[in-house]
Chains A and B, each alone.
Chain A
Amino acid sequence: MTASNGNGDTPAIELCNLHRHFGRLRAVDGVSFKVYPGQVMGFIGPNGAGKTTAMRILATLDVPTDGEVFINGYSVVDDPDKVRRIVGFMPDSFGKYANMDVVEYVDFFARAHGLSGDIRRDAVERVLVFTELRKLANKSIKTLSKGMSQRLALGRTLVHDPAVLVLDEPAAGLDPRARIELRGLIHVLATDLQKTVLISSHILTELGEICDSAAIIEAGRLLASGTMTEILQAQRVSEGRADGPAISVRVLRDAEKLEHLLCQEPSVRNVELADQVATFEFTGVESELAAILRRLIRADLEVVEFRGRADSLEDAFMAITRGITQ
């Protein structure tokens, strides 16, 4: 029923031809991907792409119209009870209760997950310490800032120590400091606590830093999925580029001479000149790149900038998606 990676592991998350239709709207349309234990996968797509719908199915809040979803080998439709023990879902809305303080909130969800006695007390303490909310334990949750609320929501998600985390837009609406802190917490969860994380976000630069794989979805369809290297490769292919990285050179004058020299280099392709900056695709090894720079300087070109422009998740997203909404 479920596939495994080269190491024989069962995928922590597996979507097989997932469909979710609302009348004529195909919110999710044949999406398939796998996330292996310990991986952090970014789930990327524009608004209305179907990310939240797919995540709600993963969290057993909705059922597929067709297809299968497995968490650690358990079907979300057939075994929702088992899935709920394994998954921690953090939706994009916080879910506040009136007249409740931080410790009561975490304690309630610990009880709701069936924890009792010392195990519950330890779990609550562990979560408060991890999210650094210990000092706000007796503060009313209605008075928490957005950043603190998100920390609390993460704490609530972690209270039953789930192996798989599904985080829907956890950084939405946070200020830069809170975003960086939250990113740090997710990084610890993935690296130190070995959680499998599926995370959606609009802030792609941040996802690029914490994810080791990504799935890009648009209008309900999966456009690309795989490791970051594979995604960036897909971007290059979609742009009609070869494997090499893009390099840009800025000179103070004689830009035409620079273009002429670069075009003569065998490992340089697709030279483009804009203002005093030449951008090209380099297909050789690094020593050849150093030789090119040396030759440019010997030709009396006043080089003020010579740098490789690394492909980013943002570039990949823009290249792969087409801005379709439904």
Chain B
Amino acid sequence: MSVSSAMLTRLERLGDRFNPIVVKEVRQALKSRQFVATFLLLLLAAWSATIFGVSYLGESIDYGSPAVIFYAGFLFALCTATLVIVPFSTFRSIVEERAETTLELLQITALSPVQIVRGKILNAMVQVLVYYCAIAPFIAFTALLPGFDIVHVTFSLVMLLITALCFSMIALAIGTQARNTTFQALSSLFVIAMAVGGMMTFFGFMTAAGSHIRFDESETWWTLALVVFLGLSTGFVCEQAAIAQLTFDSDNRSTGLRLATGAQWLICWIGLLTFLIVRQRPPMTSDVLTTILTLTTTQITAAGLLFVGMPDSLSRRVRRGLPRTRVLRVLWAPFLPGAARGMLYALLSLVLLALIVTVLFPQLTMTSILNDQQATQYAIALAAYSLIYLGAGTLLGRLLRRVAPRIQSFQILAILALVNLLLIVAAEVIHFLSRVTTPQLFDVVNPVLTLRTIADADRGSVDAVACIVVAAVVAIAANMSALWCGVRDIMKDPADSQSHPAGIVDGRA
């Protein structure tokens, strides 16, 4: 056997270990006009920029910092390819699989949804690396010019790689949701807008502020770690959403997403705690803490609202995978599919967040909002709003599911948002007719206005908080029986349960 044939055999054996989707997509990409055109355009742009730059600068190329200008040009070309073309082609890839019905063919093979999604993402990364290879000689050329900053170049290229990964994951998640042509067209526009906007922001930051970053300061690394974590964890949540979309109806579509969203905010808070303890910083101001609190509560509420729109019944297949002991089953309950268990998940997340803010933070970092009455009121109102939305979502989902058993989470969410919007408009109309401009109690239907009023410590905010808290208690009380049923359902022995095979609720069946 010759050396080349032996190598080919080894390569083929190696190929057996790769995800089949990666093998297929790379084969397709290498033959596709879009990839070849992008690759050639990237090379052409870089060549043109180099030749134009060199001839324009002439002998002055040896003075000043021409490397910065050249690198900015190459980075722009690379950003366009990796942050716009690659995410969009990843989006198109899954949309075309659905349109050509090949997605169904994949779903009935031995490939799991995780393999399908990771294969698509890996293929995106392979394309990104090919574009990196194409631009590498030009970056090497800039290294010969004065003003070349290896640290900044490395930093920007690594950050670009991470951003491209996140963008591809987000684009893929959007692609898996787009089932009809109208939604596909609208989401195409959204993905392009997101990619172009993101690319411009990234490029703008890297060229304007990127070179001023002080890598010798530990705060820089903490900040970078936070940014990278937020980006990658958001990408991971999107990946879980894409996996859930491709998962078979009777399988568990929810646990992965619940764990991912829960881990995202929890790890951020642990990181924040660690930073404050390790760095021994002075206590954080209430403003900073309430801002972080607002972001976290919004994330928990948004995730919770998606979960509370799910049908409550569990399929036999999911039941079969439940832990054996009752205690473990109860502990696992918030992460299992179902609207009531979705509400429980959000409720427990809020309780955990409250514990961290009111007990752990003051103990470990001397930072507390409890000393600041205004901040405390704000936090209470924030949590109460979250509970009101979650409670209303759960209740609305239960009611709508009686008339339309196969209604989707996002449809329930849209109806809830519409109802809230109508209430806000009604409040504004009352303001207009009564010619009263100061905030009134009925303005509690507008969370943004109410929270701003509380933050500004306007008169009447105590009444508003009391009103919201009462509404939150009502929202929880209205769902107490559903919450109990959600947990009781899990406590049953899986072998005894007579659930529907696919977990479908259909009154007519």
Q: Assess the A61–B107 pair: CB atoms within 8 A.
A: yes
Q: Are B106 and A80 in contact (CB under 8 A)?
A: no
B348 at the interface (CB under 8 A from A): no
In A110-167, the 8 Å CB interface with B consists of 111-114, 116-117, 120, 156, 160
Of the candidate stretches A87-95, A205-213, A247-255, A308-316, the one touching chain B is: A87-95
Residues of chain A within 8 A (CB-CB) of B249 are: 62-63
Return the chain B residue nearest A140 by Cβ: B31
Do A98 and B32 touch (CB < 8 A)? yes
Decide if A75 touches B109 in the complex (CB within 8 Å): no
Within 8 A of A (CB), among B284-342: 315-317, 320
Of chain A, the residue at the smallest CB distance from B315 is A77
**Is A156 touching B105 in the complex (CB atoms < 8 A)?**
yes
Cβ–Cβ < 8 Å partners of A75 in chain B: 501
A78 to B321, CA, bound (A): 11
Q: Which of A63-115 contact B (CB under 8 A)?
A: 63-66, 68, 75, 77-78, 80-81, 84-85, 87, 89, 91, 93, 95-100, 104, 108-109, 111-114
Q: Which of B21-29, B187-195, B463-471 contacts A (4 or more CB under 8 A)?
A: B21-29
CB-contact partner of A108 in B20, B251, B404, under 8 A: B20
Judge whether A87 and B509 touch: CB under 8 Å. Answer: no
B24 closest partner in A (C-beta): A108
Decide: B111 and A77 in contact? CB cutoff 8 A.
Answer: no
- Answer whether residue A257 sits at the interface, using C-beta atoms and an 8 A cutoff: no
The reply to whether B101 and A95 form a contact with Cβ atoms under 8 Å apart is yes
A95/B509 contact (C-beta < 8 A), A63-B249, A77-B315, A104-B27 known: no
- Cβ of A59 within 8 Å of any chain B Cβ, yes or no, is yes
Is there an interface contact between A78 and B504, defined as CB atoms closer than 8 Å? no
Q: A116-B16, A120-B16 are in contact. Are A100 and B501 (CB under 8 A)?
A: no
- A21 and B102 in contact, given A63-B501, A77-B315 (Cβ under 8 angstroms): no
Q: B250 within 8 Å of A by Cβ?
A: yes
List chain B residues, Cβ under 8 A from A91. 101, 104-105
Q: Residue of A at shortest CB range from B104?
A: A61
- Nearest-neighbor residue (CB-CB) of B404 within chain A: A23
Q: Which residue of B lies closest to A100 (CB)?
A: B28
A68 to B500, CA, bound (A): 10
B109-A60 in contact (CB<8A): no
Q: Does B435 contact A (CB under 8 A)?
A: no
Q: Is A19 on the interface with B (CB-CB < 8 A)?
A: yes
Residues of B near A61 (CB, < 8 A) are: 104, 107-108
Chain A window 267-281, contacts with chain B (Cβ cutoff 8 Å), 1 for yes, 0 for no: 000000000000000
CB of A11 to closest CB in B, whole Å: 18
Q: Does B508 contact A (CB under 8 A)?
A: yes
Do A64 and B406 touch across chains, with their CB atoms under 8 A apart?
Answer: no
Nearest Cβ in chain B — how far from A80, in angstroms? 5
Inside 8 A of A80's CB, which chain B residues have their CB?
Answer: 248, 250-251
Docked complex: B243-273 residues within 8 A CB-CB of A: 248-251
**A46 to B335 Cα, complex, angstroms:** 45
Cross-interface CB contact of A98 among B16, B28, B106, cutoff 8 Å: B28
Q: Are B107 and A108 in contact (CB under 8 A)?
A: no
B109 touches A109 (CB 8 A): yes
Count the B residues whose beta carbon is within 8 Å of the partner chain — how many?
A: 39
- Whether A64 touches B100, Cβ cut-off 8 Å, given contacts A114-B110, A120-B16, is no
Contacts of A81 in B (CB 8 A): 110
B253 to chain A, nearest CB (A): 12
- For residues 464 through 499 of chain B, which have their beta carbon under 8 Å from a beta carbon of chain A? none
CB distance from B505 to the nearest CB of A (A): 10
Q: B204: shortest Cβ distance to chain A, in Å? A: 35
| CB–CB A93/B101 < 8 A | yes
Q: Is B134 an interface residue (CB 8 A)?
A: no
Is A112's CB under 8 angstroms from B20's CB? Answer: yes
Q: Is B506 an interface residue (CB 8 A)?
A: yes
Chain B residue with minimal CB distance to A99?
B31
> At the interface, yes or no: B114 with Cβ under 8 Å from chain A?
no
What per-residue 1/0 map shows which CB atoms of B95-136 lie under 8 Å from chain A?
Answer: 010001110111111110000000000000000000000000
CA distance A58 to B501 in the complex (A): 14
Q: Do the beta carbons of B13 and A117 come within 8 Å of each other?
A: yes
B62-109 residues at the A interface, CB under 8 angstroms: 96, 100-102, 104-109
* B102 surroundings in chain A (CB, below 8 A): 95-97
Min CB gap B8→A, angstroms? 13
Query: Within the assembled complex, what's the spacing in Å between the Cα atoms of A160 and B316?
Result: 28
Chain A residue with the shortest CB-CB distance to B248: A80
What A residues does B110 contact at CB under 8 A? Answer: 81, 84-85, 112-114, 160
Known pairs A21-B508, A65-B504; A96 contacts B109 (CB<8 A): no
Q: Is the CB of A78 within 8 A of B105?
A: no
Are A95 and B502 touching (Cβ within 8 A)? Answer: no
In the assembly, what is the distance between CA of A95 and CA of B248, in Å?
19
- Least distance between B316 CB and chain A CB atoms (Å): 5
Contacts of B16 in A (CB 8 A): 111, 116-117, 120
Determine the distance from Cα of A290 to Cα of B432 in the docked complex, in whole angstroms: 101
Complex contact B111–A112 (CB within 8 A): yes
Chain A 202-237 interface residues, beta-carbon cutoff 8 Å to B? none
**B contact residues around A87 at 8 Å (CB):** 108
Q: Answer whether A112 and B317 are a contact pair too, CB < 8 Å, given A97-B102, A117-B13.
A: no
The answer to whether A21 and B108 touch across the interface, beta carbons within 8 angstroms, is no
Q: CB-nearest residue of chain A relative to B32?
A: A99
Q: Which has the most chain B C-beta neighbours within 10 Å: A60, A63, A64, A116? A: A63
- Minimal Cβ-Cβ distance residue in A for B27: A104
Which residues from B are CB-within-8-Å of A112? 20, 106, 109-111
* Docked-complex contact B20 and A78, CB < 8 angstroms: no
Contact B104 A95 (CB under 8 A): yes
Give A146 Cβ to nearest chain B Cβ, in Å. 16
A100 CB contact (under 8 Å) in B27, B101, B109: B27
Give 18 A-B pairs besides A63-B249, A81-B110 with Cβ atoms closer than 8 angstroms.
A21-B508, A23-B406, A60-B107, A75-B501, A80-B251, A85-B110, A93-B101, A95-B105, A96-B100, A97-B24, A97-B102, A109-B109, A111-B16, A111-B24, A112-B109, A156-B105, A160-B109, A160-B110
A/B interface sample: 18 pairs, CB < 8 A: A59-B108, A60-B248, A63-B248, A63-B504, A78-B316, A84-B108, A85-B110, A87-B108, A89-B108, A95-B101, A96-B100, A97-B102, A98-B28, A99-B32, A100-B27, A108-B20, A112-B106, A113-B110
The 5 closest A-B pairs by CB, nearest first: A63-B502, A111-B20, A99-B31, A112-B109, A77-B501
Residues of chain B touching chain A, judged by Cβ–Cβ distance below 8 Å, are: 13, 16, 20, 23-24, 27-29, 31-32, 96, 100-102, 104-111, 248-251, 315-317, 320, 404, 406, 500-502, 504, 506, 508-509
